Amino acid sequence: MEIPKEDVAEINELRSVEQRQLVEELILQLHEIGAVKLGNFKLKSGVMSPIYVDLRVLPSHPRVLERVVDSMWRCLTASVGEQEARKRFTHVCGVPYGALPFAAAIAIKHQVPMVICRKEAKDYGTKSLVEGVFKKDEKVLILEDVITSGISIQETSTNLRSAGLTVEEAVVFLDRQQGGRQRLAALEGGLAVTVHAVTSLRQMLETLKAHGRIEDSLLDSINAYLASMAQVSPAAAATTAAAAEKPKVLAFAERVDKCQSAVGKKLLRLMEQKKSNLSVAADVTSKSELLTLADKLGPHICMLKTHADIVRDWDANTGKELKELADKHHFLLFEDRKFADIGYVAQQQYGGGPFGICDWADVVTVHLVAGASVVTSLKETAAQKGQERGALLIAQMSTADAASKQEEGSVERALAAARAHTDFVVGFICQENVLAKNPEESASFLYCTPGVRIGSQGDGLGQTYRTPEMVIDPVAAAREYQEKAWAAYTARCSASQ
């Protein structure tokens, strides 16, 4: 039997009235348990606010938590019905970490699979940002307690999408009415998120005032705050939030204890002592040129990058002589061999052969086209020889057409291998910080960026780290690069304080 349209409208209106009453009761409960605080508070976005909603206390009040979660579920399902709403997602995920109890409660009560999204990947266990059982392209409903700028929801959706999941909607309990919902809805390129909110900051204030929970003077202050925030565009609010959340850039000395690799620790200390984060590519073809360059540039560099197989007269003593110069001037030797073969072959290339690389090179580069077993093989070879060695994994190349030819999954494979071998992997060859989203983990690795130059010239072969200055006066050029690179590093550290 079909229900007449006028009766449907009346039923929906009754539901709407009932929902408003339930929300008002819930707001009063939240105030009673101290989840709604009045005063002067600094928000995550960095903005000062006269009202603060702290739903992290809810797990200590399970009955109130249950009511909040029920209100969020009704917010999502009221207009279309539970059956239809359930078709729009297969999993739920709480924004880490305050909304995890909401997701867990809904997962249990409504039997919806849950995934957990971390803020940063760990270096143990699965080492994944997203934990749980799911399939590619399955849809996730994000749950959050409060939305201000929307940055937290956007970051969570980005991490979920990077794991192959789809995100289209989110449900929050409170919208602070500072443009977050509108900003997320306006994102382009398939990144938009529709946010449903149980209540708003203004409704919360009106409820508290109606029940004598807030004085007129404080209400005026809060209304003035809301009016001032209404003048801030969503984009500007997001920029402020992002700046407030920008992590501190740790100095090299501060990162020593975070680094798991002995060679990485040595390099961090060395850079701090010499005030140099410069690595120079010694792409010369004779032994005399190589040793002369190492001796002249040694005082200004932290690493000398070599290509042993292009030195035409390399002999059994070359590696030893390079090592003596490295000890004399306190820099590391970095053989850019790009090991990429199967384990056994890589072991022979590293531990023996005409170059005896493991005997003199502190660091080597590794390409993971044959899998992470090559890292295991190199690590075992160094241990057998009693050498303290490390590897830089190639995540991104520096050639001019690298962006278009970058092999799919190379960054992910490099990260996985690094996490599995933190005692041997020093860091990455890359064009950007491939762990920028995970500041804590990022500080434990180093990032070597080839192709950096002061001038605009390249070498005409797709590479970009040869300049006329380096050829004509290598010492002067090295000194200039050392000073500029160190200045850029110290400025970046200072800017994050």
Bind-site residues: 283, 305, 398, 453, 463
Concerning whether 336 is annotated as a catalytic residue, the answer is yes
The binding site for substrate consists of: 283, 305, 398, 453, 463
Tally the residues of the chain: 497
Distance CA 360, CA 337 (A): 13
CB 361 within 8 A of CB 332: no
DSSP bridge pairs for 349: none
Taking alpha carbons only, the member of 105, 44, 95 closest to residue 72 is 105
Alpha helices in 111-149 (DSSP H): none
Distance CA 54, CA 46 (A): 16
Q: Which two tokens stand for residue 187?
A: 């994102």
166-175 and 91-94: which strand pairing? Answer: unpaired
Maximum alpha-carbon separation in the chain: 95
Distance CA 94, CA 74 (A): 17
Distance CA 172, CA 156 (A): 14
Catalytic entry in 338, 359, 379, 437 = 338
Catalytic entry in 341, 359, 379, 437 = 341
CA distances (Å), 386 to each of 102, 351, 380, in order? 52, 11, 10
DSSP bridge pairs for 132: none
CB 126 within 8 A of CB 154: no
Concerning whether 341 is annotated as a catalytic residue, the answer is yes
Cβ of 407: how many Cβ atoms within 10 Å?
13
Distance CA 346, CA 377 (A): 7
Concerning whether 313 is annotated as a catalytic residue, the answer is no
Catalytic entry in 145, 175, 274, 336 = 336
Amino acid at 402: A
Residues designated as active site? 336, 338, 341
